[in-house]
Amino acid sequence: MGSLTQAQIYGASPDDGKSQAVLSDGSGLYLRIGRSAKSKDYAPRYWQSRLKYQGKWVWIGIGSAYDITPDEARLKNLTLRADAAKGVNPQKPKRGVMPKAPGAITFADAVEAFLPEQLKELKTPKHIQQWENTLNTYAIEPQHGIGKIPVAQITLDDVQAVLAPIWHDKTETASRLRGRIEKVLSWATVKGLREGPNPARWKGNLEFVLSKPSKIHKAKNHDCIEWQAMPDFMADLWPRDSVAAFALKYCALTGLRSQEFLKATWDEIDGEVHSIPGARMKMGEAHLVPLSEAAQEVLDSLRGLDPVHVFPGPSGKPVSDAAVRKLLTKTMGFDGTDKPSATIHGFRATLRTWMQDHNVPWEISETALAHKVGNKASQAYTRSAVVGLRLPIMRDYAAFILSKAKATNA
């Protein structure tokens, strides 16, 4: 079902001073409403589909809301989007071809129509690419894929055939793929394109034919430098003066994720606090980072390089994750050859372990890493209330990891 109600479809009208109103029904389907003419007692209302064809967005008229039902318009919208994805020009429909019946909508069609809605919930280009790549690579394109099977006919055996080849070798990917297939099929059910239980559901369904993921795949933590070795690491890093080096110093001193510090802008810095907007946080909520004097020293070294970005790259955009990773693994040697393997994300584990071994309260440690603690009310209180408590801890951590670097440079 779409998002528009019967009352909205047949009762909405343009706002004062406007000639028309445009309402979204979801999945790229819109209802355009005009003003009624003096000779008529009703306003024109017609459906339009907005879709991408050959890389360009186009509007396709579907028909008057007085002539076709909302469900007919929704089905036609899905058909147009599916055809456009296959290269059929939606502006020149083939003669004699009837719109697809619900049972003829394939899984590939459903993915093409569902993704525009789902992608709105995803925060980063990386997550968007993962969604598209996993569905295309493992569910749609292979010979055992379900891309050409109508969603109304997909069974547990079909889903199992997609997942089984990668379930043991690529367990984490396969588990995420299962969840994504389940979402697409749930969407198809809500849209009236299929009926019955979801064959991709895990509980009470696939759990009886596939091994439990946790039994065959042990999550691998990000490689990190032990906190006891951080003074030596920072003694090597601290004299380096490239933007990538300053970014890595800031990462080590704050324990932030890559996208949280690499994309930092100067308007987020206010004295000894770095305010990171929710759009760049994994949990989607703003995060306050207390800055030690050492972290502020890193920032001061970068002022004047770029009016917007704290860590600017040569192209005018933020320095890349790859540049910082190359510095860590190739230049400094933490690639597992002569020195232990380390990752940018691993500095979070280093900081967390140091706090644990130095008896920092659990709630403060978790908040420092922007992990959720308690319910929403307590989370809102914790984020603001413990900034003052976290600052002395971050100062102590900075003093420890820089103990050799500062002594060397003294």
Question: What average pLDDT does the chain have?
Answer: 83
Residues 44 and 192 in one domain: no
Question: How many CB atoms are located within 10 Å of the residue 44 CB?
Answer: 15
Is residue 322 located within the same domain as residue 197?
no
Q: How many domains is the chain built from?
A: 3
Q: Report angle CA 243, 244, 247 to the nearest 5 degrees.
A: 85
Please check the confidence at residue 152 and state whether its pLDDT lies above 60.
yes
**Would the pLDDT of 74 be above 80?**
yes
> Does the structure show a pLDDT above 60 at 410?
no
**Statement: residue 95 has pLDDT above 60:** no
- Contact, 323 vs 274, CB < 8 A? no
Query: What gap in Å lies between CA 362 and CA 374, rounded to an integer?
Result: 12
107-117 pLDDT, tens digit per residue, is 988 888 887 76
Which two tokens mark 376? 């929403």
Averaged over 212-220, what is the pLDDT? Answer: 65
Q: What is the DSSP letter of 341?
A: B
Of the residues 216, 244, 277, which one is the last residue of a structural domain? 216
Q: What is the pLDDT of residues 180-197, one digit of tens each?
A: 999 999 988 888 888 899
In whole angstroms, give the CA distance from residue 59 to residue 62. 10
Beta carbons within 8 Å of 211's beta carbon, 6+ residues apart = 167, 168
Of 201-210, 262-271, 277-286, least confident by mean pLDDT is 277-286
CATH code of the domain covering residue 361? 1.10.443.10
**Tokens at residue 59, please?**
């509007």
Q: Is the pLDDT of residue 96 over 50?
A: no
Mark whether 130 and 258 lie in a shared domain. Answer: no
67 lies in a domain? yes
Q: What's residue 125's pLDDT? A: 58
- Both 257 and 346 in a single domain? yes
Q: Which domain holds residue 12?
A: 6-100
pTM, two decimals, is 0.51
Residue 372's pLDDT is 57
Query: Which one of 73, 100, 127 terminates a domain?
Result: 100
171, 118: one domain? yes
pLDDT digits (tens, 9 = 90+) for 357-373: 988 887 777 777 765 55
> Among 216, 241, 276, where does a domain finish?
216
Angle between helices 125-134 and 107-118 (to 10 degrees): 170
Report yes or no on 326 lying in a domain: yes
CA distance 302 to 387: 24
Is 221 contained in some domain?
no
Closest CA to 82 of 114, 59, 126: 114
Consecutive H or E run containing 80: helix 70-85
Q: Is residue 112 part of a domain?
A: yes
Strand-pairing partners, residue 381, are none
Residue 313 has pLDDT above 60, yes or no: yes
13 and 31 inside one domain: yes
